[in-house]
Amino acid sequence: MRGSFIVNGVVREWEFPEDMRLLDLLRREGYAEVKCGCREGMCGSCCVLLEEKIVNSCQILAATVMERDIRTVEALSEGEEPHPLITAFAEAGAVQCGFCTPGMVLAAYCLLKENPDPSEEEIKRALDGNYCRCTGYVKIIDAVQRGGRKMREKEVRE
């Protein structure tokens, strides 16, 4: 079947099998930042934003999300400048192997948009669908707090 998808603000026309998952379609079309860790909706590596809400792309049939706003971690950064949240993750030591990171960043981004200064509990709840096996989550939580501060500072400046 054929359909039109809006990925990171760009309209794409793709031919794809009826039972293809969004994860596989995105990766096929070069969005390698969307990772595959389990295919069960448990690990969160495949997370993308669907109309600004975080979802597991491995649990979504591509046919059901045509013409809807889909964003990967690439959408966060404008031009050459990485999003302050991404810089916060890098600087806080929250990126070890990096496999969970794109999904984790998107989950943090969703949280910080709604709740710019979250508590530790609120951060853990918002990231509850994203596993990390490397960091013990300690520096990830720190990164989200730092990222929130950077985002607030940026808004104040703008």
Binding part of the chain for other proteins, among 5-13, 123-131, 150-158 by CB under 8 A, reads: 123-131
Alpha-carbon distance 5 to 10, whole Å?
8
Of 4, 115, 138, 153, the one binding other proteins (CB under 8 A) is 138
Interface positions, 62-101, toward other proteins (CB under 8 A) = 63-64, 72-74, 77, 82, 86-87, 89-93, 95-101
Nearest distance in Å: CB 42, other proteins: 4
- Which residues contact residue 69 at a Cβ distance below 8 angstroms, ignoring those fewer than 6 apart? 6, 49, 50, 51, 52
Alpha-carbon distance 12 to 3, whole Å?
8
Of 141, 145, 146, 150, the one binding other proteins (CB under 8 A) is 141
Interface positions, 30-59, toward other proteins (CB under 8 A) = 32-45, 47, 50, 53-56, 58-59
115 binds other proteins (CB under 8 A): no
Give the bridge partners for 47, in sequence order.
56
Beta carbons of 64 and 19 less than 8 angstroms apart: no
Residue at 16: amino acid letter: F
Of 109, 127, 150, 151, the one binding other proteins (CB under 8 A) is 127
Compare residues 107 and 112 and give the one whose CB is closer to other proteins: 107
Of 5, 16, 84, 139, the one binding other proteins (CB under 8 A) is 139
DSSP letter string, 18-40:
TT-BHHHHHHHTT-TTS--S-SS
